[in-house]
Amino acid sequence: MRRGIAPVVGARVRALRFPRSRRIKPLTITPGRRAFQRRVVGRRIEAIDRLGKRIILVLNGSDRVVFEPRMTGLALLTDPPTTEHLRARFELAGAEPSELLLWDRRGLGTLRLLDPDEFAEVTGRIGPDALDLPRGEVRARLGGRRRPIKVALLDQALLAGVGNIYASELLHMARVHPTRPCDALSAREWTAVERALQRVLADAIRYEGSTLNDGTYRTALNEEGGYQNHHRVYGREGRACPRCKGRHTVERIVLAQRATFFCARCQA
Protein backbone atom coordinates (compact mmCIF):
# COMPACT_ATOMS: atom_id res chain seq x y z
CA MET A 1 0.00 0.00 0.00
CA ARG A 2 2.77 2.40 0.91
CA ARG A 3 4.71 1.63 -2.23
CA GLY A 4 1.59 1.99 -4.32
CA ILE A 5 0.92 5.56 -3.25
CA ALA A 6 4.58 6.62 -3.20
CA PRO A 7 4.16 8.60 -6.46
CA VAL A 8 2.43 11.39 -4.57
CA VAL A 9 5.49 12.16 -2.43
CA GLY A 10 6.50 15.75 -3.03
CA ALA A 11 2.99 16.91 -3.87
CA ARG A 12 1.25 19.80 -2.12
CA VAL A 13 -2.25 19.28 -0.74
CA ARG A 14 -4.47 21.69 -2.62
CA ALA A 15 -7.70 20.58 -0.96
CA LEU A 16 -8.94 17.85 1.34
CA ARG A 17 -12.48 16.54 1.25
CA PHE A 18 -14.27 14.02 3.43
CA PRO A 19 -17.22 12.76 1.39
CA ARG A 20 -20.09 11.35 3.43
CA SER A 21 -22.93 9.06 2.54
CA ARG A 22 -26.32 9.24 4.23
CA ARG A 23 -26.42 5.46 4.52
CA ILE A 24 -22.87 4.82 5.73
CA LYS A 25 -21.55 5.72 9.15
CA PRO A 26 -18.62 8.10 9.03
CA LEU A 27 -15.05 7.01 9.64
CA THR A 28 -13.32 7.97 12.86
CA ILE A 29 -11.38 11.09 11.93
CA THR A 30 -9.42 13.01 14.56
CA PRO A 31 -9.28 15.84 15.20
CA GLY A 32 -12.58 17.02 13.68
CA ARG A 33 -12.89 17.41 9.94
CA ARG A 34 -12.60 21.20 9.97
CA ALA A 35 -9.41 21.32 12.02
CA PHE A 36 -7.98 18.42 10.06
CA GLN A 37 -8.45 20.26 6.77
CA ARG A 38 -7.07 23.52 8.14
CA ARG A 39 -3.83 21.88 9.25
CA VAL A 40 -3.30 19.79 6.10
CA VAL A 41 -4.32 21.98 3.16
CA GLY A 42 -1.30 23.82 1.78
CA ARG A 43 1.16 21.33 3.22
CA ARG A 44 3.61 19.26 1.23
CA ILE A 45 3.79 15.47 1.53
CA GLU A 46 7.47 15.07 2.26
CA ALA A 47 7.48 11.31 2.66
CA ILE A 48 5.21 8.33 3.05
CA ASP A 49 6.28 5.93 5.78
CA ARG A 50 4.83 2.75 7.21
CA LEU A 51 4.86 1.42 10.73
CA GLY A 52 3.32 -2.02 11.05
CA LYS A 53 -0.04 -1.75 9.36
CA ARG A 54 -0.21 2.04 9.53
CA ILE A 55 0.42 4.37 6.60
CA ILE A 56 2.06 7.66 7.58
CA LEU A 57 2.01 10.81 5.45
CA VAL A 58 4.84 13.04 6.69
CA LEU A 59 3.89 16.66 6.06
CA ASN A 60 6.17 19.65 6.04
CA GLY A 61 5.89 21.42 9.36
CA SER A 62 5.54 18.89 12.15
CA ASP A 63 2.30 17.01 11.55
CA ARG A 64 1.72 13.49 10.29
CA VAL A 65 -1.40 11.92 8.82
CA VAL A 66 -1.78 8.35 10.07
CA PHE A 67 -4.17 6.04 8.22
CA GLU A 68 -5.08 2.67 9.73
CA PRO A 69 -6.89 0.66 7.07
CA ARG A 70 -7.75 -2.21 9.40
CA MET A 71 -9.96 -4.70 7.57
CA THR A 72 -11.25 -3.00 4.47
CA GLY A 73 -9.42 0.31 4.13
CA LEU A 74 -7.61 1.17 0.91
CA ALA A 75 -5.30 3.93 -0.25
CA LEU A 76 -5.79 4.56 -3.96
CA LEU A 77 -4.47 6.67 -6.79
CA THR A 78 -7.32 5.72 -9.13
CA ASP A 79 -11.10 5.42 -8.95
CA PRO A 80 -12.29 3.49 -5.89
CA PRO A 81 -14.37 0.30 -6.01
CA THR A 82 -17.50 2.25 -5.01
CA THR A 83 -18.11 5.97 -4.58
CA GLU A 84 -20.28 5.38 -1.53
CA HIS A 85 -17.40 4.28 0.71
CA LEU A 86 -14.93 6.94 -0.31
CA ARG A 87 -13.73 8.50 2.96
CA ALA A 88 -11.14 11.10 2.03
CA ARG A 89 -9.91 12.79 -1.11
CA PHE A 90 -6.56 14.59 -1.03
CA GLU A 91 -6.44 16.88 -4.08
CA LEU A 92 -2.82 17.42 -5.00
CA ALA A 93 -0.68 19.86 -6.91
CA GLY A 94 2.71 19.06 -8.33
CA ALA A 95 2.25 15.31 -8.62
CA GLU A 96 0.86 12.79 -11.04
CA PRO A 97 -1.72 11.49 -10.35
CA SER A 98 -3.39 14.49 -8.77
CA GLU A 99 -5.45 12.69 -6.13
CA LEU A 100 -4.89 10.40 -3.20
CA LEU A 101 -8.05 8.60 -2.10
CA LEU A 102 -8.87 6.74 1.10
CA TRP A 103 -11.69 4.23 0.81
CA ASP A 104 -13.12 1.94 3.47
CA ARG A 105 -16.11 -0.30 2.98
CA ARG A 106 -16.72 -1.17 6.60
CA GLY A 107 -15.39 1.92 8.22
CA LEU A 108 -13.39 0.18 10.91
CA GLY A 109 -10.35 2.16 9.84
CA THR A 110 -9.20 5.43 11.35
CA LEU A 111 -7.62 8.60 10.05
CA ARG A 112 -5.67 10.77 12.44
CA LEU A 113 -3.64 13.95 12.21
CA LEU A 114 -0.91 13.85 14.84
CA ASP A 115 1.61 16.36 16.13
CA PRO A 116 5.05 15.04 17.15
CA ASP A 117 4.03 14.30 20.74
CA GLU A 118 0.94 12.41 19.67
CA PHE A 119 2.92 10.49 17.08
CA ALA A 120 5.53 9.55 19.66
CA GLU A 121 2.75 8.27 21.86
CA VAL A 122 1.60 5.97 19.04
CA THR A 123 5.06 4.65 18.23
CA GLY A 124 5.65 4.03 21.93
CA ARG A 125 2.44 2.06 22.28
CA ILE A 126 3.08 -0.40 19.45
CA GLY A 127 6.04 -2.70 18.99
CA PRO A 128 8.81 -2.35 16.41
CA ASP A 129 8.03 -3.09 12.79
CA ALA A 130 8.16 -6.82 12.07
CA LEU A 131 10.32 -6.28 8.99
CA ASP A 132 12.85 -4.15 10.82
CA LEU A 133 14.04 -6.39 13.63
CA PRO A 134 17.53 -7.41 14.68
CA ARG A 135 18.20 -11.14 14.68
CA GLY A 136 16.74 -12.87 17.73
CA GLU A 137 14.33 -10.05 18.45
CA VAL A 138 11.18 -12.07 17.76
CA ARG A 139 12.10 -14.52 20.49
CA ALA A 140 13.23 -11.70 22.76
CA ARG A 141 9.84 -10.02 22.50
CA LEU A 142 7.46 -12.99 22.40
CA GLY A 143 9.39 -15.64 24.29
CA GLY A 144 8.62 -16.53 27.89
CA ARG A 145 4.92 -15.91 27.50
CA ARG A 146 2.24 -18.48 28.02
CA ARG A 147 0.03 -17.35 25.19
CA PRO A 148 -0.22 -19.37 22.00
CA ILE A 149 2.41 -18.28 19.49
CA LYS A 150 -0.21 -17.27 16.93
CA VAL A 151 -2.03 -15.01 19.39
CA ALA A 152 1.26 -13.36 20.39
CA LEU A 153 2.20 -12.78 16.75
CA LEU A 154 -1.02 -10.80 16.28
CA ASP A 155 -0.36 -8.55 19.30
CA GLN A 156 0.79 -5.29 17.75
CA ALA A 157 2.23 -4.13 21.07
CA LEU A 158 4.86 -6.86 20.75
CA LEU A 159 5.52 -6.72 17.00
CA ALA A 160 3.80 -4.44 14.53
CA GLY A 161 2.79 -5.71 11.13
CA VAL A 162 1.69 -9.35 11.29
CA GLY A 163 -2.01 -9.87 10.57
CA ASN A 164 -4.24 -12.90 10.67
CA ILE A 165 -3.52 -14.28 7.22
CA TYR A 166 0.24 -14.07 7.51
CA ALA A 167 0.36 -15.43 11.07
CA SER A 168 -1.14 -18.73 9.87
CA GLU A 169 1.02 -18.73 6.76
CA LEU A 170 4.31 -18.12 8.52
CA LEU A 171 3.63 -20.73 11.21
CA HIS A 172 2.99 -23.33 8.53
CA MET A 173 6.21 -22.38 6.82
CA ALA A 174 8.05 -22.58 10.16
CA ARG A 175 6.35 -25.91 10.98
CA VAL A 176 5.16 -24.63 14.37
CA HIS A 177 1.66 -25.39 15.65
CA PRO A 178 -0.38 -22.21 16.23
CA THR A 179 -1.49 -23.16 19.74
CA ARG A 180 2.01 -23.81 21.06
CA PRO A 181 2.71 -21.57 24.06
CA CYS A 182 5.54 -19.14 23.36
CA ASP A 183 7.46 -20.38 26.36
CA ALA A 184 7.49 -23.91 24.94
CA LEU A 185 9.29 -23.11 21.69
CA SER A 186 12.87 -24.28 21.24
CA ALA A 187 15.67 -22.05 19.97
CA ARG A 188 15.49 -23.89 16.66
CA GLU A 189 11.77 -23.18 16.38
CA TRP A 190 12.24 -19.50 17.15
CA THR A 191 14.79 -19.30 14.37
CA ALA A 192 12.33 -20.96 12.00
CA VAL A 193 9.55 -18.56 13.05
CA GLU A 194 11.79 -15.56 12.57
CA ARG A 195 12.91 -16.67 9.12
CA ALA A 196 9.38 -17.53 8.02
CA LEU A 197 8.08 -14.20 9.26
CA GLN A 198 10.56 -12.28 7.12
CA ARG A 199 9.94 -14.52 4.16
CA VAL A 200 6.14 -14.46 4.23
CA LEU A 201 5.88 -10.71 4.69
CA ALA A 202 8.48 -10.03 2.00
CA ASP A 203 6.71 -12.34 -0.45
CA ALA A 204 3.30 -10.89 0.35
CA ILE A 205 4.66 -7.42 -0.39
CA ARG A 206 6.33 -8.61 -3.59
CA TYR A 207 3.02 -10.05 -4.80
CA GLU A 208 1.19 -6.89 -3.71
CA GLY A 209 -0.99 -8.37 -1.01
CA SER A 210 -3.83 -10.87 -0.74
CA THR A 211 -7.15 -10.23 -2.45
CA LEU A 212 -9.50 -12.75 -0.84
CA ASN A 213 -12.74 -14.05 -2.30
CA ASP A 214 -14.65 -11.00 -1.11
CA GLY A 215 -12.44 -8.96 -3.45
CA THR A 216 -12.02 -6.17 -0.94
CA TYR A 217 -8.30 -5.66 -0.99
CA ARG A 218 -7.03 -3.78 -4.02
CA THR A 219 -3.70 -2.26 -4.90
CA ALA A 220 -3.29 1.51 -5.17
CA LEU A 221 -4.23 1.16 -8.85
CA ASN A 222 -7.41 -0.78 -7.97
CA GLU A 223 -6.03 -4.12 -9.10
CA GLU A 224 -6.04 -7.49 -7.37
CA GLY A 225 -3.08 -8.55 -5.30
CA GLY A 226 -1.43 -11.86 -6.13
CA TYR A 227 -0.35 -13.44 -2.88
CA GLN A 228 -3.66 -15.25 -2.34
CA ASN A 229 -2.47 -17.64 -5.05
CA HIS A 230 0.49 -18.51 -2.85
CA HIS A 231 -1.40 -19.17 0.38
CA ARG A 232 -0.39 -22.48 1.87
CA VAL A 233 -3.11 -22.88 4.50
CA TYR A 234 -5.17 -19.70 4.94
CA GLY A 235 -8.74 -20.25 3.74
CA ARG A 236 -7.88 -23.77 2.55
CA GLU A 237 -9.67 -25.87 5.13
CA GLY A 238 -10.11 -29.48 4.04
CA ARG A 239 -7.66 -29.19 1.16
CA ALA A 240 -4.38 -31.05 0.94
CA CYS A 241 -1.49 -29.57 2.87
CA PRO A 242 0.95 -28.31 0.24
CA ARG A 243 3.89 -29.58 2.24
CA CYS A 244 2.94 -33.18 3.07
CA LYS A 245 0.64 -33.42 0.04
CA GLY A 246 -2.11 -36.00 0.35
CA ARG A 247 -1.15 -37.20 3.77
CA HIS A 248 -3.05 -34.55 5.65
CA THR A 249 -5.60 -31.83 5.04
CA VAL A 250 -5.60 -28.28 6.35
CA GLU A 251 -7.56 -27.79 9.56
CA ARG A 252 -9.34 -24.70 10.79
CA ILE A 253 -9.67 -23.69 14.44
CA VAL A 254 -10.51 -20.44 16.20
CA LEU A 255 -7.90 -18.76 18.39
CA ALA A 256 -8.66 -15.45 20.08
CA GLN A 257 -11.75 -15.16 17.87
CA ARG A 258 -9.71 -15.47 14.71
CA ALA A 259 -9.76 -18.14 12.05
CA THR A 260 -6.55 -20.14 12.22
CA PHE A 261 -5.34 -22.65 9.63
CA PHE A 262 -2.66 -25.29 9.97
CA CYS A 263 -1.55 -28.83 9.11
CA ALA A 264 -1.55 -31.04 12.20
CA ARG A 265 0.98 -33.35 10.61
CA CYS A 266 3.55 -30.76 9.57
CA GLN A 267 3.06 -28.43 12.56
CA ALA A 268 3.59 -30.64 15.58
Partner DNA sequence: CATATGTCCTGAGAGC
Partner DNA sequence: TGCTCTCAGGACATAT
Nearest-approach distance from CB 198 to DNA, in angstroms = 18
- In the bound state with DNA, the residue whose beta carbon lies nearer, of 239 and 247, is 239
User: In 10 A of CB 13, how many CB atoms?
Assistant: 21
Task: List, in sequence order, every residue forming a beta bridge with 49; answer none if it has no partner.
Answer: 56
| Residue 98 to residue 81: CA distance in whole angstroms | 18
Residues 86-145 that bind DNA (CB under 7 A): 105-108, 122, 125-126, 145
Residue 232 in the binding site for DNA (CB under 7 A): no
Residue 259 in the binding site for DNA (CB under 7 A): yes
Size of interface with DNA, in residues (CB under 7 A):
37
User: In 10 A of CB 90, how many CB atoms?
Assistant: 24
Nearest-approach distance from CB 41 to DNA, in angstroms = 26
Q: What is the SS3 assignment for 13?
A: strand
Q: Which helix (H) or strand (E) holds 56?
A: strand 54-59
| Residue 1 to residue 6: CA distance in whole angstroms | 9
Residues 1-30 that bind DNA (CB under 7 A): 23-25
Which residues lie below 8 Å from residue 197, measured CB to CB, with a gap of 6+?
Answer: 130, 138, 153, 162, 170, 174
Residue 258 in the binding site for DNA (CB under 7 A): yes
| Residue 216 to residue 72: CA distance in whole angstroms | 6
Binding characters for DNA, 34-73, by CB under 7 A (x = yes): ------------------xxx-------------x-xx--
Contact indicator for 162, 197 with CB cutoff of 8 Å:
yes
Backbone φ and ψ for 202, nearest 5 degrees, come out as: -65, -45
- In the bound state with DNA, the residue whose beta carbon lies nearer, of 186 and 213, is 213
- In the bound state with DNA, the residue whose beta carbon lies nearer, of 11 and 167, is 167
Residues 169-228 that bind DNA (CB under 7 A): 213-214
Chosen residue from 80, 163, 178, 209 binding DNA by CB under 7 A: 163
Binding site for DNA (CB under 7 A): 23-25, 52-54, 68, 70-71, 82, 84-85, 105-108, 122, 125-126, 145-147, 151-152, 154, 156, 160, 163-165, 213-214, 254, 256-259
